[in-house]
Chain A
Amino acid sequence: MSQGVNKYFGRAWMGAVYAFLYLPIVTLVIFSFNDSRLVTVWSHASFRWYHALVKDADLIAAVWLSLKIAFLSALMSVFFGTFVAFALNRYKRFAGRTLLSSMANMPLVMPEVIVGLALLLMLVSVQHWLGFPQRGLFTILLGHALLGTAYAAVVVTSRLKEMDMRLDEAAMDLGSKPWQVFTLVTFPLLVPALVSAFLLTFTLSFDDVVLSAFLSGPGYNTMPMVIFSRARLGLNPTINAVATVTIVVVTIAVIASSFYTSHVERKRKRETALAYSDANK
C-alpha cells in the first residue's frame, strides 16, 4: 500500500514541478494573442501585437544583429571548444594543464557581471594602446565566443570521453597520418557533439543580455538588450509576441535536433553491429 501512495505522491510532485516550469511560458504565449493594451487583462483574441511586431523596426534590427552574432559566436565557440576538449582529453600531462582547465571553467562559474566587466576593461586598455577595436559587433562577439567556448568544451569533452580510442589507434596502426586519423575517424564520430555544441552556444549567445550590455557600443543593440530595456520600464505586449515566436522556433529546433541525435546514434550502432558481424563471418 505504501508503494501505491508513494507512486501517486511521486506523480503529483513531478506534475507540480512541470506546472511550475511551464506556467509562465504558457501564460506568456496565451496573452500574446490578447487584444488589450493591458498585458494582464484578457479582452479578446487578436494578432494585434504580431502586427505591431512586424512594424517594430528597432526590434527587427536587433533580432538580425542577435542572429548574426549568435551564428558567428557559435562557430567560434565550437572551433575553440574542440581545441580545449582535445588538449585536456588527449594530453593528460603538460605544463600548465591545471591552469588551462581552470581558465576554461572560469566563464562557466563566474557571475556574468564580472566576466563582462573584465572583458570590457581589457578591451578598453587594448583600444587605448592600439586604437581599436571599437565597441560593437566584434566586441560582443568576443564575449559570447569566450562564454560559448567553455560550454562547447564541456559538450565535446563528454563525447570524446565515451569515444573508443582503439579506433584512432587502429587507424594509426594501419598507417594513417595524424591529420588523416582526425579527418577520417575522429571528426565524423564527433559531428553529433559538434552540432549540439553549436545549438547550445547559439542559444546562449542569442539569449545573453549582461555581456552584450557591457561590450556593446552605441547603435549596437541585441534583441535581449531591447527586450531588457523595455521589460525594465514595465509590461509590454510586443514582448509577449516576440516570446511566442522565439518559443515556437526553439521548441521545433530542440525536438528536431533530438530526433537527429537519436537517428545518428541508431545509425552508428547499426553500422557497428554490421561491421562486427562481417568480421566474424
Chain B
Amino acid sequence: MSKSKNATLNFFSGRKLIIGVPYVWFILLAAIPLLIVLKISLSTMEMASVSNMIDWSNGWPKVTLNFESYQFILKDALYIKTYLSSIKYALITTVICLAIGYPFAYFMARAPKHIQPTLLMLIMLPFWTSFLLRIYAWKTLLVNNGIINNALISLGVISEPIQMMNTPFSLVIGMVYSYLPFMILPLYANLSKLDIRYLEAAADLGTSPLKTFWLITVPLSKAGIIAGSMLVFIPAIGEYVIPELLGGPNTLMIGRVLWDEFFSNNDWPMASAVAVVMILLILVPMAVLNKYQSDQASGKAGA
C-alpha cells in the first residue's frame, strides 16, 4: 500500500521535473527578456541609462508609459521606408527561392530512391559549413576586382567591371544562397510523399504533363510551399549579417537599423521599439507557419 503510494509520488515528481525544468529555462531566457524589451521600448534614455518606468517615490507605484520611440518610428519616413524595403527584399528572396527550389525538390523526389539520401546530404553540407564564411566567399566573387569580374574581363566579355557588390543584386543573391536549403527541405519532404498514382490516373485520363503538374502536383504540395516560404521569409526580414557584408550602405534593412540604434547611437528604447514593431510584422507569417505545423502534426495538411 505505502509502496504504491510512493511510486505514484515519484511519478508525479518526475512529471513536475520534466515539465518544470524547460519551463524555468525558457521563462528566464525567452519570456522575461522579451517583456524587458517591451518595457524598455516604452521608456526614454536619461543620462546614459534607461528611465524608470515605475516610480515608487510617493509610496505607490506610478507607471509612466512613454511612446516617444514609437512616435519617432511613425514620424520619421526613413524607418517606414526601411521596414517596407526589408519586406520587399524578404519577398523577392522567398519568390526566387521558391522558383529555384520547387523544381529542384520535385526532381530530387523523382530521382532513383537509392541516391536520394546523397542528394539530400549534398544540400545540407553547405548548411553545416560556416554561414559567415560562405557570405564572405560571395564578397570575393562579386567585388569590382573580384573573381567573376576578373574572369569576364579576361574572357573579353566585358571591358569594364560590372558593379555587383553593394547593390540589391548582391544582397538578394546572398540571401537566396543562404536560405535556399530552408525552402528545399520542406518541399522535398512533401513531394517525396506524393502519391504517384494520382499522376498516373491523370495521365491515363489523357491530361497533359504540364496540366497534371498545375492541377495535381502543385495543389497537393501546398503545405510544403507554405512551410518553405515562411521559413525563408521570416528570418530574411530581420537579417543583419548579409546586408552588412554584401548589401552596402544603400540597401535598407531593419536588422541593421536595430543594430546601429543599439551599438552606434546607444539608444536602447529606440532599438527596443524597432524590435517590437519587427515582431508585430512577423507575427502573421509566424501564425501561418504554426497553423501549418499543427495541421501537419494532426495529419490534416497535404495529401
Contacts and interface: CB of A to CB of B under 8 A. Distances in A.
A118 B275 contact: yes
Given A21-B180, A119-B33, A111 B126 contact: no
Given A10-B107, A209-B132, A87 B137 contact: no
Contacts of A203: 128
A276 interface: no
A27 B130 contact: no
Given A109-B235, A142-B29, A13 B103 contact: yes
B26 A243 contact: no
A52 B267 CA distance: 39
A91 B15 CA distance: 8
Given A17-B100, A28-B137, A243-B136, 13 more contacts: A40-B150, A80-B21, A86-B18, A87-B22, A103-B30, A104-B26, A105-B290, A117-B271, A119-B33, A231-B135, A243-B130, A250-B129, A254-B121
Contacts of A24: 134, 137-138, 141, 177
A183 interface: no
Contacts of A142: 29
Interface of B: 7, 10-11, 14-15, 18-19, 21-23, 25-27, 29-34, 36-37, 40, 100, 103-104, 106-108, 110-111, 119, 121-126, 128-141, 143, 145-147, 150, 177, 180, 209, 234-235, 237-241, 244-245, 255, 258-259, 262, 268, 271-272, 275, 278-279, 282, 286, 289-290
Contact of A22 (B103, B126, B136, B237): B126
Scoring B15, B30, B137, B262 by chain A CB atoms within 10 A of each residue's CB, the highest score goes to B30
Given A111-B255, A121-B40, A146-B30, A224 B130 contact: yes
Contact of B10 (A21, A27, A118, A178): A178
Interface residues of A, number: 77
B23 to A, nearest CB: 6
B207 to A, nearest CB: 13
A227 B133 contact: yes
B268 A121 contact: yes
Contacts of A14: 104, 107-108, 111, 119
Q: Which 6 residue pairs across A and B have the least CB separation, nearest first?
A: A111-B238, A24-B137, A118-B33, A10-B107, A103-B26, A122-B33
Contact of B36 (A2, A112, A118): A118
Interface of A: 2, 6, 10-11, 13-14, 17-18, 20-25, 27-28, 31, 38-41, 80, 83-84, 86-87, 90-91, 94, 96, 100, 102-107, 109-114, 117-119, 121-122, 125, 142, 146, 149, 177-179, 203, 206-207, 209-210, 214, 224, 227-228, 231-232, 235, 239-240, 242-243, 246-247, 250-251, 254, 258
A21 B130 contact: no
Contacts, number: 214
A114 B132 contact: no
A228 B275 contact: no
Given A113-B238, A117-B262, A207-B132, A31 B126 contact: no
B258 A231 contact: no
A203 B175 CA distance: 20
Contacts of B282: 109-111
Contacts of A18: 122
B130 A111 contact: no
A1 B148 CA distance: 37
Contacts of A40: 140, 143, 145-147, 150
Contacts of A247: 129, 133
Contacts of B237: 111
Contacts of A31: 140, 147
20 contacts: A10-B107, A24-B141, A27-B137, A40-B143, A41-B150, A103-B26, A105-B290, A109-B286, A110-B238, A111-B278, A113-B238, A121-B37, A179-B14, A209-B132, A224-B132, A231-B135, A231-B136, A239-B133, A243-B130, A254-B121
A20 B96 CA distance: 13
Contacts of B289: 109
A146 B180 CA distance: 25
B43 to A, nearest CB: 11
Contacts of A13: 103-104, 107
Contacts of B140: 27-28, 31, 39-40, 235, 240
Contacts of B136: 28, 227, 231, 239, 243
Contact of A90 (B18, B36, B121): B18
Contacts of A104: 22, 26
Contacts of A86: 18
Nearest to B293: A105
